[in-house]
Amino acid sequence: MRVTIRDVATRAGVSVATVSRVFNDSGPVHEETRRRIREAARELRYAPNSAARSLSTRRTSTLGVLLPDLHGEFFSEIIRGIDLTAQRRHHHLIVSSSHNHRSEVAAALRAMRGRVDGLILMSPAVDAETLVAELPVPDTLRVVLLNCAVRDPRFDGLEIDNIGGARAVVEHLTGCGHRRVAMILGPARNHDADERRRGYRAALRAAGLEPRPEWEHSGDFTDAAGYQAAAALLRLVPRPTAIVAANDAMAIGALSAVREAGLRVPEDMAVVGFDDVPIARYVHPPLTTVRVGIGELGARAAETLLEALAEGEAHRPRHVVVPTTLVVRDSCGCRDRSPPASLA
Amino acid sequence: MRVTIRDVATRAGVSVATVSRVFNDSGPVHEETRRRIREAARELRYAPNSAARSLSTRRTSTLGVLLPDLHGEFFSEIIRGIDLTAQRRHHHLIVSSSHNHRSEVAAALRAMRGRVDGLILMSPAVDAETLVAELPVPDTLRVVLLNCAVRDPRFDGLEIDNIGGARAVVEHLTGCGHRRVAMILGPARNHDADERRRGYRAALRAAGLEPRPEWEHSGDFTDAAGYQAAAALLRLVPRPTAIVAANDAMAIGALSAVREAGLRVPEDMAVVGFDDVPIARYVHPPLTTVRVGIGELGARAAETLLEALAEGEAHRPRHVVVPTTLVVRDSCGCRDRSPPASLA
DNA sequence: TGCCCGAGTGTAACCGTTTCCACAATCACG
DNA sequence: CGTGATTGTGGAAACGGTTACACTCGGGCA
């Protein structure tokens, strides 16, 4: 038999209202009564039932997190960022991952109804626009959109400066003399991937180079895809002198492919990534990449959501673009911005 | 104003009981009535309130996951494994990470009371024994212990064969002629780390070598720690010829340190890891390691828990040790089990 | 002395479901 | 054509909390 607030009340010789007041620190309770109640609760090992509490207060103290099919360190870092912030503010996290299609997201969202106070939704598919528009979101549910190609005035939004980051790293390469810069793209119809490509193209044009279709090879953000794509790019004639991967995992796969082809990085081929996952500095050669601050991104998403929740009706959604920074290491071969010997 | 089951009932001209029956597919309902109710629900965009449902049924359809301070791919893989299984069985996941101390675990556990039907608890701290013994677990809560140094008959347990895995990889090295095999340890007081060290020592002894304290360097499972530890081990005289890292992240850090010292892997120094995270095959040289099947481990934990939940009172907890397999790639320099030139 | 006020407490309505039980209508069957 | 089972439905009591409201009881103040 479960122990309820009523059992505690009986044992302490008070009413349930008083017990509730003690546990929620609401309303005045005599010090001596308070002590008796705490004691009774401890003896009975009482813990309030949160379903009942949620039903009554219409709050769950829980945040929902809906993620696409993320892998590796990006996934763990973002969850950690969110979780740490949520914990600090005494909130729980319901995580649901691997949602790629709109129907899946909609279903997951329905299932979360009543379980969460707010939602962090990361849906980098480019068709997110319609998803968001049709989102079966009761107006009681706060939503923060993460990396969505959408600016819906109903929701807060948080986005990475993908275009700026990609421009920066590509400009770094062209600035060092690279003329044949290839790119391993992210998944088709992915917002981040799309923007990173736009940044890449913009940077090429800014350097007076025309983007060429054969220099852009598809990928899907996995190490394996990076490996495959790089292998294909190496067969081009003339061969590119630099490969920009749309994320670090693919860059690492590319490093592997380049080496297997008997070429050296960065002497024969520069390779750069995007994200700056923790491991990036420990691969060989240490990866030049674009730092995103993934954990911080998650933390900010959680903070935004908690803030919105606290503000209630008064909240005015905002849209924030989080800046990125270029991190130059060795894999581009131009740490000091001087062209590598092979290009001189 | 929220829309409740009552609104649906009114609109469809039936009682709430009938609406409930339709939504839960319990009890007979006339086909025509059923249609009317579904229609009314759709028009009103009704979604059942899960707090109320939980309160009434005493089930939450939610699993709790309590994790220590995990990083990188181990974290993401295990969550993914659990999540995919839970989703398939229509369960949600409450995730709470970064719990290192017993008090934190106990607090998190208390806070989950009433929110989850069961719990997956990963607590590789060696003092988990007392934690588990004192666990404030109501007998209504099913628990699966993951990588705990504990066999409590009240709970299911799932463990990696750390000792066997470590033995296998070290025996592979000694079998190839290595005589000075150093190890980068995991965190102190960590169960997995502890067992991996035991496997390492056992394998050395089996090869007629005496473990030496200076060959064992501390670490904490991060890339950075692996880097530091390897740098320290390289200063030993005579220098070890092989480094066994207690996990892949540290092995990757070690690779980086060895290279920076101007040495080659595997010719001058063999380096091996543990876990076989996805990235292990893409670093240079591809990492020889011990495959754990992290995602599968998570999936099995979730399956065990769901099964236990389904069986109810009748469930008899079991303790399972998941085998590991040696994955030989290039970083050990003895892919074909022949000693590297430097040792010949 | 009478009145007001605040501290401390209890009663009971409510939150939105599920489910037990009762009941009406229909149907099969001897 | 009665009877017992079956199908379809509704009423209302849980589930375990929170909280609006009412009440008592002293103490301060005019």
Helix (H), strand (E) counts: chain A: 12, 12
Q: What is the pLDDT of residue B2?
A: 80
Interior CA angle at B123 toward B122 and B125, to 5°?
Answer: 155
**What is the C-alpha to C-alpha distance for residues A175 and B162, in angstroms, rounded to an integer?**
50
Distance (Å) from the alpha carbon of A114 to chain B's nearest alpha carbon: 5
**Mean pLDDT across chain A:** 90
Tell me, yes or no, if B80 comes closer than 8 A to chain A by beta carbon: yes
Q: Mean pLDDT: which of A46-50, A109-113, A136-140, A232-236 is highest?
A: A232-236
Q: Do A2 and B112 touch (CB under 8 A)?
A: no
Residue A142 identity (one-letter amino acid)? R
Q: How sure is the predictor about A101, in pLDDT bands with cuts at 50, 70 and 90?
A: confident
Radius of gyration of chain B (CA): 26
Q: What is the pLDDT of residue A344?
A: 46
What is the chain B residue with the closest CA to A51? B51
Model pLDDT for residues B226-247, shown as the tens digit of each residue: 999 999 999 999 999 999 999 9
| B:151-210 residues touching chain A, CB 8 A cutoff | none
Query: How do the pLDDT tens digits run along chain B, 344 residues long?
Result: 589 999 999 999 999 999 999 999 988 899 999 999 999 999 998 989 999 999 999 999 999 999 988 888 889 999 999 999 999 999 999 999 878 777 788 888 878 878 999 999 998 775 666 666 666 566 678 899 998 887 888 889 999 999 999 999 999 999 999 999 999 999 998 899 999 999 999 999 999 999 999 999 999 999 999 999 999 999 999 999 999 999 999 999 999 999 999 999 999 999 999 999 989 998 989 999 999 999 999 999 999 999 999 888 888 999 999 999 999 999 998 876 555 555 54
Q: Could you tell me where the DSSP H helices lie in A45-93?
A: 50-57, 72-88
Residue A133 has pLDDT above 70, yes or no: no
Residues 6+ apart with CB under 8 A from B255: A282, A284, B230, B265, B271, B283, B284, B287, B331
Residues 6+ apart with CB under 8 A from A344: A177
Q: Does any strand D atom come closer than 7 Å to the Cβ of B33?
A: yes
Q: What is the pLDDT of residue B139?
A: 66
Model-level pTM? 0.88
Residue A57 has pLDDT above 80, yes or no: yes
- The structure tokens listed for A258 are 């380049």
Q: Does any strand D atom come closer than 7 Å to the Cβ of A21?
A: yes
Q: How many residues does chain B have?
A: 344
Residue A32 has pLDDT above 50, yes or no: yes
Q: Does any strand C atom come closer than 7 Å to the Cβ of B58?
A: no
For the CA of A306 and the C1' of D21, the distance in angstroms is: 32
Model pLDDT for residues A197-242, shown as the tens digit of each residue: 999 999 999 999 999 999 999 999 999 999 999 999 999 999 999 9
Q: Do A256 and B96 touch (CB under 8 A)?
A: no
Query: Of B82, B224, B102, B112, nearest to A79 (Cα)?
Result: B82
What is the chain B residue with the closest CA to A71? B76
Residue burial B282-298, b: 16+ Cβ < 10 Å; e: rest: bbbbbbbbbbbbbbebb
**What is the C-alpha to C-alpha distance for residues B55 and A49, in angstroms, rounded to an integer?**
8
For B336, counting Cβ atoms within 10 Å of its Cβ (0-12 exposed, 13-18 middle, 19+ buried), the class is exposed
For the CA of A15 and the C1' of C11, the distance in angstroms is: 9
| Structure letter (DSSP) for residue A240 | P
Query: Of B305, B36, B321, B20, nearest to B192 (Cα)?
Result: B321
Residues 6+ apart with CB under 8 A from B251: B184, B226, B243, B245, B271, B272, B273, B274, B280, B287, B289, B331
| Strands B289-291, B325-327: pairing kind | antiparallel
* Interface mutation target, options B85, B141, B282, B284, chain A, most CBs of A under 10 Å: B282
- Strands of the sheet containing B270-272, edge to edge, are B216-217, B181-184, B242-245, B270-272
Distance (Å) from the alpha carbon of A67 to chain B's nearest alpha carbon: 11
Tell me, yes or no, if A50 comes closer than 8 A to chain B by beta carbon: yes
Q: Does any strand C atom come closer than 7 Å to the Cβ of B4?
A: yes
Nearest to A282 among B112, B227, B286 (CB): B227
**What is the C-alpha to C-alpha distance for residues A298 and A80, in angstroms, rounded to an integer?**
8
Q: What is the pLDDT of residue A337?
A: 58
Interior CA angle at B179 toward B176 and B182, to 5°?
Answer: 105
**What is the C-alpha to C-alpha distance for residues B84 and A79, in angstroms, rounded to an integer?**
16
- The structure tokens listed for B191 are 């169960």
Distance (Å) from the alpha carbon of B85 to chain A's nearest alpha carbon: 11
Nearest to A284 among B45, B60, B255 (CB): B255
Query: Of A76, A156, A70, A142, nearest to A112 (Cα)?
Result: A142
Q: Residue B180 in contact with residue B242, Cβ under 8 Å?
A: yes
Mean pLDDT of A100-125: 83
What is the chain B residue with the closest CA to A63? B94
For the CA of B46 and the C1' of C17, the distance in angstroms is: 13
Tell me, yes or no, if B55 comes closer than 8 A to chain A by beta carbon: yes
For residue A106, which residues of chain B lie inside 8 Å, CB to CB?
A: none
**What is the C-alpha to C-alpha distance for residues A227 and A245, in angstroms, rounded to an integer?**
10
* Interface mutation target, options B49, B97, B184, B287, chain A, most CBs of A under 10 Å: B97
Which residue has better confidence, B110 or A155? A155
Q: What is the pLDDT of residue B340?
A: 53
Q: Do A110 and B253 touch (CB under 8 A)?
A: no
- The structure tokens listed for A94 are 């319901």
Q: What is the pLDDT of residue B344?
A: 46
Interior CA angle at B253 toward B248 and B255, to 5°?
Answer: 90
Residue A340 has pLDDT above 70, yes or no: no
% of chain A surpassing 90 pLDDT: 72
| A:238-277 residues touching chain B, CB 8 A cutoff | 249, 252-253, 255-256, 259
Residue A112 identity (one-letter amino acid)? M
* Interface mutation target, options A7, A23, A50, chain B, most CBs of B under 10 Å: A50
Whose C1' is closest to the CA of A33: which nucleotide? C8
Q: Residue B94 in contact with residue B62, Cβ under 8 Å?
A: yes
- The structure tokens listed for A312 are 């209630």
Q: Does any strand C atom come closer than 7 Å to the Cβ of B21?
A: yes
* Interface mutation target, options A58, A66, A115, A141, chain B, most CBs of B under 10 Å: A115
**What is the C-alpha to C-alpha distance for residues B315 and B299, in angstroms, rounded to an integer?**
19
| A:135-154 residues touching chain B, CB 8 A cutoff | 136, 138, 140
